[in-house]
Amino acid sequence: MKFFVDTANVDEIRELESYGLIDGVTTNPSLIKKSGRDFVEVITEICSVTDGPVSAEVIALDTEGMLAEGRKLAQIADNIVVKLPLTLDGLAACQTFSKEGIKTNVTLCFSANQALLAAKAGATYISPFIGRLDDIHVDGMELIQEIRAIYDNYGFDTEILAASIRGPMHVKECALVGADVGTAPAGVIKALVKHPLTQAGLDQFVKDAAEAGIKV
């Protein structure tokens, strides 16, 4: 499973890149707002920090507007993925971009039927939001499973990009049910490495190495 980091904070992306932990980046208008920076400026900088796919979301709600904004975003760098909302207009834009070879991420997916439509429109990625479903007492992981089954039934190439991941358990469950990608905040990705027995074992080895005077 690939890991994307869900952030518009360039320092976080640089740090995760330095550990070789991420395969790409996703952003959304709320994350851009949180960064306090100009949209095009921050997306351009992110694309200079990573070679992986970088999702940048359109603001327009009509197909023509989405096409204009998406084409502008696609010119920023080769690794731009145009993020489109799961609406009729978004699906129409997705279909056009697919024919033009522009990569797309269809976002705000909350049902298997929406995911089926996105795949038929030629989406590169579909983003089901697990955490936001869990927030309203609906099992987000069940949606990932359903989409996996549907895409496998018909051999769709669209990658399942599990989004709105809130913690390490979401990551493990996504990997178990076969999501292609998981996008999560930097803190969640860094938390994956932690285990109390790893730390306790390391502390003991460091102590014993010092007491034995081990040198390499």
Contact by Cβ (8 Å): 76, 47 = yes
Closest to 42 in 3D by CA, of 7, 17, 10: 10
Contact by Cβ (8 Å): 82, 73 = yes
Cβ closest to ligand E4P, residue 3 vs residue 129 = 129
Cβ closest to ligand E4P, residue 67 vs residue 161 = 161
Q: Which residues bind ligand E4P (CB under 6 A)?
A: 6, 26, 28, 107, 127, 129, 131-132, 163-164, 183
Active site residue 194: no
What does the H/E/C string look like for 139-164? CHHHHHHHHHHHHHHHCCCCEEEEEC
For residue 8, the minimal CB distance to ligand E4P (Å) is 10
Q: Which of 83, 99, 120, 172 is the catalytic position?
A: 83
For residue 198, the minimal CB distance to ligand E4P (Å) is 27
SS3 110: coil
Contact by Cβ (8 Å): 82, 105 = yes
For residue 164, the minimal CB distance to ligand E4P (Å) is 3
Cβ closest to ligand E4P, residue 104 vs residue 164 = 164
Q: Which residues are identified as catalytic?
A: 83
